[in-house]
Structure 1
Amino acid sequence: MKKPLLEFTDRGIFCEKANVYLDPWKPVDKALITHGHADHSRWGHKNYITFHNNIPIIKHRLGDLNVSGRSYGESFVVNNVKFSFHPAGHIPGSSQIRVEHKGEVWVFTGDYKLADDGISTPFEPIKCHSFITECTFGLPAFNWRPQEEVFSDINEWWLQNKKENKTSVIFAYSLGKAQRVIKHLDTSIGKIYTHGAVENMTEVLRPQLNLPPTELITRETDKKEIEGNIIVAPPSAHGSVWLRRFTPFVTATASGWMAFRGARRRRAIDRGFVLSDHADWEELLKAIKETECEKVIATHGYTDIFSRYLQTLGYDARTEQTQYEGENLEEKAEKEAISQN
């Protein structure tokens, strides 16, 4: 039986013909990296290859690495296997990886979304035979509203809090979601203050993005100065001593999980805004259709439900176990980041 071009191993997704791994979760000699989130970009590989805008992100998170960059659509060959990175639309610097050998084409998406968030290069559908997809939000219940409507609600919420002399605190992951929120906040309402983990990553991304001014909160920051303005902080800052000094404040979370009833209550958040950096149900189906693929492998999220539905549509669909966790592993990364501030 012919071996597949890409295999799932205990170290990660492996291309044996090129001796290369894609987003491996254990240390390897050569790793192709889709984006900078903690579950896809890990420390310990000898050589990293990634989209060039992703280099400062992973160096900021992982330290000084042996890393080389490629442009979107630029082909490079390893042992007669052709690779290229293509926009995933997930967060700034995120990519899909196209792999081709003797006319057979696979695409590994990493994480992705189809909606244009204003800070990431929009998703580009790539024709292939086999498509490896996430399905973090692979249930019909997940159906995102247009981004403009969500940010209209966020800015209205901030304005109302300001009228009541309360500080607004919105929790968003420091890489990707935080910059998306910052980009679309209405600075005519007030100033944007940031937690150290958010500010540090925002400064890394500023050369790539057109973002409004932000101000880092330090030990010397006066509580009165912040009153009525907005703070962007990682989720792990919720309930912390760092945050309590800004009372009275109102909290919100920007996350796809806010689509679930009870999620806001369980997290003890005042307001939940449904805003995800992952594809919803319809986007997942559209992305797969546009690839014109025959085989689909679902790697993380609602894999069983999603793959069974794809089978009813005529796809050769299955699931594979990986250590990718969508938004969940970012929570752990944020806890590490906050401990350093």
Structure 2
Amino acid sequence: MPKKPLLEFTDKGIYCAKGKFYIDPWKPVDDAVITHAHADHAYVGHKHYLAHYLSRDVLYYRLGEINLQTVEYGETVFKNGVEISMYPAGHVIGSAQIRVESQGEVWVVSGDYKTEDDGVCSPFEPVRCNHFISECTFGMPVYQWKPQAQLFEDMNNWWRHNVENNLATVVVGYSLGKAQRIIQNLDLSIGKIYTHGVIENTNEALRRNGVILNPTTRITIDSNKEEVRKGIIIAPPSSVGTPWMRKFQPYSFGYCSGWMAIRGSKRRRAADRGFVLSDHADWNGLISAIDATGCDSVYLTHGYTASFTRYLNDIGFDAHEVHTLYGGEEETPPQPSPEGREQQLNEAQVLSSGEDLGEANKALPFGEGLGGVEGDIL
């Protein structure tokens, strides 16, 4: 009888039967190990959570008073004799790859990751393993990121130009991940950073966890509109096209997403500027990360799984496509079919318009709902 694998894919999530725990389960379970705090990986309803300590306060903010245990990178926890440890994923602050070992069999679950050191979160570290469970959100050759320094030089020059021409500057980015990268890479000699309530709630949670971020000012109903317009405004995707954003007119609006690498994405977002900024690995990053694990087999959970699986098998990997519920955040492409990939890629130009479910479907602790953003600012 074949040996049962240490990890298996179930209708609740990635399961370790020997250890009696799940990794990033999407249905309520007794014991959940969480890679990071994005809502497609961290769901409410589990009895016990294990995550990296820098995810602590963001998880409390998003999920409420959960039963949460946290660990450092490299720290070992045992569950029913199975060894669990976490290593940097480089995706967002507090993100982790989960290493699981028993009797010499080693699996690593990547969660989401990027290989470029963004200077904000702990940089990605390849982890040697027998089996690697990887995302492939941007697993197509068209997705190849430029160096971050070049992107933020462009963004700061754009902001400076807007100030000189009496235009407010609005930058849209995901509230956990992109927002902090933007904040840490802006040229503060140009002006102050102002934030939508959803962004600032996340910043405050991270600061409670000991993360040091550049100064930001929450936009409230008492904020001076003209002073805000002299700075730069960081807002979530949910604010696009709302009365909240229109109150800053005239403004120049920039959208940050890996999808901006595809022609037409800026136009579809009605953005003045598109910045190709992603918290996921690009094509080359995915291949190099998978190769660095030295794995015997790789399992692809979300993104361009079908086409990327075929490519990896063609170049000598033992790759498998699996179906999960990951990828429900702002940067999730539709899955291309074996035929008509070019057509599917064109369809992928349409960006998702919402913030993640963890923020859209819960009451915010500071009384700032996404649907009623007009009431919390100018």
Tell me the TM-score normalised to structure 2 length.
Answer: 0.88
Deviation per CA, 1:85-107, whole angstroms, max 9, x where unpaired?
11100000000000111101000
CA displacement at 1:304 relative to structure 2: 0.7
CA displacement at 1:43 relative to structure 2: 0.3
| Pairing partner for 2:315 from 313, 316, 341 | 313
Residue ranges of structure 2 left out of the alignment (5+ in a row): 333-351, 362-368, 374-378
The answer as to 2:203 corresponding to 1:185 is: no
The answer as to 2:244 corresponding to 1:212 is: no
Superposed, 1:111-126 pairs within 5 Å as 111-126=112-127
The answer as to 2:365 corresponding to 1:338 is: no
Q: What does residue 251 of structure 1 align with?
A: 253
Superposed, 1:49-128 pairs within 5 Å as 49-128=50-129
Q: What does residue 286 of structure 1 align with?
A: 288
CA–CA separation in structure 1 for the residues paired with 2:206 and 2:356: 21
CA displacement at 1:331 relative to structure 2: 2.9
| Pairing partner for 1:262 from 254, 257, 264 | 264
SS in 2 for 1:17: coil
SS in 2 for 1:314: coil
| Pairing partner for 2:304 from 287, 295, 302 | 302
Q: What does residue 154 of structure 1 align with?
A: 155
- Could you tell me which amino acid in structure 1 is paired with residue 240 of structure 2? H
For the 8 Å contact 1:163–1:228, the answer to whether it is kept is: no
Residue ranges of structure 1 left out of the alignment (5+ in a row): none
The answer as to 2:232 corresponding to 1:230 is: yes
- Could you tell me which amino acid in structure 2 is paired with residue 295 of structure 1? S
CA–CA separation in structure 2 for the residues paired with 1:20 and 1:228: 50
Percent identity over the alignment is 52
Tell me the TM-score normalised to structure 1 length.
Answer: 0.97
CA displacement at 1:291 relative to structure 2: 0.5
- Could you tell me which amino acid in structure 2 is paired with residue 138 of structure 1? G
What number of residue pairs does the alignment pair up? Answer: 341
Pairwise CA RMSD = 1.3
- Could you tell me which amino acid in structure 1 is paired with residue 102 of structure 2? H
For the 8 Å contact 1:119–1:209, the answer to whether it is kept is: no
SS in 1 for 2:83: strand
- Could you tell me which amino acid in structure 2 is paired with residue 301 of structure 1? G
Q: What does residue 271 of structure 1 align with?
A: 273
CA–CA separation in structure 2 for the residues paired with 1:19 and 1:212: 41
CA displacement at 1:340 relative to structure 2: 6.7
Deviation per CA, 1:53-105, whole angstroms, max 9, x where unpaired?
11111011110010101111111111121110111000000000001111010
SS in 2 for 1:338: coil
Deviation per CA, 1:284-332, whole angstroms, max 9, x where unpaired?
0110111000100000000011111110121110110000015248734
SS in 2 for 1:85: strand
